[in-house]
Amino acid sequence: MATTGKAKRIVLVSQDKAFVQETKAALAASDAFDLVAIERGVLDLRGEIQEADCGAAIIDMDAARLDQVEALQRIIRRLEGKTPIIVATQEFNAAAVRILVQLQVADFLVKPVSTADLVRSCLRALHGPGREENAESQIYAFMPAAGGVGNTTLALQTAFQLHHSLTRGAATCVVDLNFQQGACAEYLDLEPRFDIAEIENQPERLDRQLLDVMLSKHASGLCVLAAPTRPSEMRTFNTEIVVRMLDLVSAYFDNVVIDLPRTWFPWTETVLLGSNKLYLVTEMTVPCLRHTQRLIQAIYDTVGREVKPNVIVNRFEQKMFESGIRQADVQEILGDHFAGGIANNYKLVREAVDRGVPLHEIDANANVIADLRRIILPEEAAAAAPKKARSLFGLGSGLLRKRA
Ligand SMILES: Nc1ncnc2c1ncn2[C@@H]1O[C@H](COP(=O)(O)OP(=O)(O)O)[C@@H](O)[C@H]1O
Ligand SMILES: [Mg+2]
């Protein structure tokens, strides 16, 4: 998450040891927060919050109990509404919600609270609702329709484009969910450091600090969460671990790009449902396009219509052989799921993979990069277009001047 300025103090009032621990873990090691825990009940508070001089307070209480609500009201009055209050509560009912709304608390969270919700809520309380839109992280999921279609290549390049983007910029993380044969780290010449065995039986151990240890960092600042490949092991992970991992990553990064495996796992549905954008990567062959059609149907059948699959046709050729598929066929088969094509550029992609560098390091103006930008960041691609025209014009007048 992008953090500017110095840390703001957040006071947590809670008697629930587990919740104090979770909150500490969620907010630890982020530059944005400085957490102070007061391990007391809301009824036992005196002037502690006021004295702590904090940017926001999280109060863990039972919102269904009148005496506790009255205690909260006293705190709010004492603070003169200057400090945003986040209420965390176990019990939740319509009457409690109404009272909390009337008291104008900044937010209320129902326990158990996810790390992402907690961090977002704190950021919102500290920075006001204006930040809300940017604070919300965007999750881009890439799913291949077949093996070797370029899913990893395009997911990584998307991550770089988002990372360097003017509108979506700031922190970006790639999550490689190919636990068996992930290639993300390898493609960028990084050492994969995500040790799943360490958290397998206790996913709650995965906190910000552990995540930091397990992230691989590219020189550009892009982060990659990838496990070392174990070709001979068939491992499955429970949904809880995958959810916990994505929850944590999305709390700290503005953009999360997921490289999904071809195989459908028990957690696949959850990942798709949690994504803001879903891209299916396919190729221009009849079997591949047919399979893409089936994949689209399978996604609608399992996840419903909330997530729209956008199909990227990699190694796209305008004119295939006489008997081959044409753009019109692609459009007919995929309908409005067709998001765009990516040029076939074997030399560029091959060199990038072999050298372990991103595509733009070899050629920033490569067709593959421009094609992808039009799909992922259409506004920025459009804004960049006139600039190109201007530079051509500049070149033209320069030539003219030289001649004159
Ligand atoms: N647009 C492209 N043009 C040419 N070759 C490509 C393109 N995209 C990917 N490739 C090549 O295809 C192969 C598979 O790519 P990869 O990203 O590993 O696919 P996947 O993750 O779907 O298995 C790699 O050798 C890569 O260099
Ligand atoms: Mg791959």
Domain 137-388 belongs in CATH node 1.10.10.10: no
Query: Which neighbouring-strand residues pair with 178?
Result: none
Checking if the pLDDT of 345 tops 90, the result is yes
Give the dihedral sign, CA 53/56/62/64.
positive
User: Which one is predicted more confidently, 53 or 226?
Assistant: 226
Q: Where are the domains of the chain?
A: 8-133, 137-388
Checking if the pLDDT of 161 tops 60, the result is yes
- Pocket around ligand 1: residues whose beta carbon is below 6 Å from it? 144, 147-153, 183, 314-315, 342, 344-346, 349-350, 353, 368
Arithmetic mean of pLDDT, 56-69: 93
User: Which one is predicted more confidently, 187 or 251?
Assistant: 187
- Residues 270 and 281: their CA atoms lie apart, in Å, by 19
- Residues 156 and 135: their CA atoms lie apart, in Å, by 22
Q: Look-up: residue for tokens 């590219």?
A: 218
Mean pLDDT lowest among 108-117, 326-335, 338-347, 377-386: 377-386
Q: Look-up: residue for tokens 């005196």?
A: 46
- Per-residue pLDDT at 322: 61
In contact, 190 and 216? CB cutoff 8 Å = yes
- Per-residue pLDDT at 365: 92
Judge if 8-133 and 137-388 fold alike in CATH terms.
yes
Checking if the pLDDT of 403 tops 50, the result is no
Q: Domain 8-133 falls in which CATH fold? A: Rossmann fold (3.40.50)
Q: Is 265 exposed, middle or buried (0-12, 13-18, 19+ CB in 10 A)?
A: middle
pLDDT per residue as tens digits for the range 3-32: 445 678 999 999 999 999 999 988 875 677
* Tally of CA atoms within 13 A in the half-sphere of 229 that contains its CB: 12
Band the pLDDT of 265: cuts 50, 70, 90: very high
In contact, 262 and 254? CB cutoff 8 Å = no
Mutation choice for ligand 1 from 149, 153, 188, CB with most ligand atoms inside 8 A: 153
Which amino acid makes up residue 146? Answer: A
In contact, 344 and 317? CB cutoff 8 Å = yes
Arithmetic mean of pLDDT, 119-146: 77
Percent of the chain with pLDDT over 90: 52
Arithmetic mean of pLDDT, 39-66: 89
Band the pLDDT of 249: cuts 50, 70, 90: very high
- Residues 367 and 373: their CA atoms lie apart, in Å, by 10
pLDDT per residue as tens digits for the range 75-95: 998 888 788 999 999 877 888
Chain length of the chain: 404
- Per-residue pLDDT at 299: 96
Arithmetic mean of pLDDT, 33-55: 87
pLDDT per residue as tens digits for the range 90-117: 877 888 888 888 888 988 898 888 887 8
Ligand nearest to the CA of 144: 1
Checking if the pLDDT of 397 tops 50, the result is no
Q: Note the pTM of the prediction, 2 decimals.
A: 0.71
Mutation choice for ligand 1 from 142, 156, 349, 357, CB with most ligand atoms inside 8 A: 349
- Per-residue pLDDT at 10: 93
Band the pLDDT of 311: cuts 50, 70, 90: very high
Checking if the pLDDT of 320 tops 60, the result is no
Long-range pairs for 296-305: beta carbons < 8 A, 24 or more residues apart: 296/334, 296/337, 298/264, 299/272, 302/269, 302/272, 303/269, 303/272, 303/273
Ligand nearest to the CA of 178: 2
Question: Distance from the CA of 155 to the center of ligand 1, in angstroms?
Answer: 11
- Residues 96 and 98: their CA atoms lie apart, in Å, by 5
Beta carbons within 8 Å of 39's beta carbon, 6+ residues apart: 14, 15, 17, 20
Question: What dihedral angle (degrees, nearest 10) is formed by the CA atoms of 24, 29, 32, 37?
Answer: 20
Checking if the pLDDT of 396 tops 90, the result is no
- Per-residue pLDDT at 164: 87
Query: Which residues are near ligand 2, the ion (C-beta closer than 5 Å)?
Result: 151-152, 183
User: Which one is predicted more confidently, 245 or 92?
Assistant: 245
- Per-residue pLDDT at 399: 35
Checking if the pLDDT of 146 tops 70, the result is yes
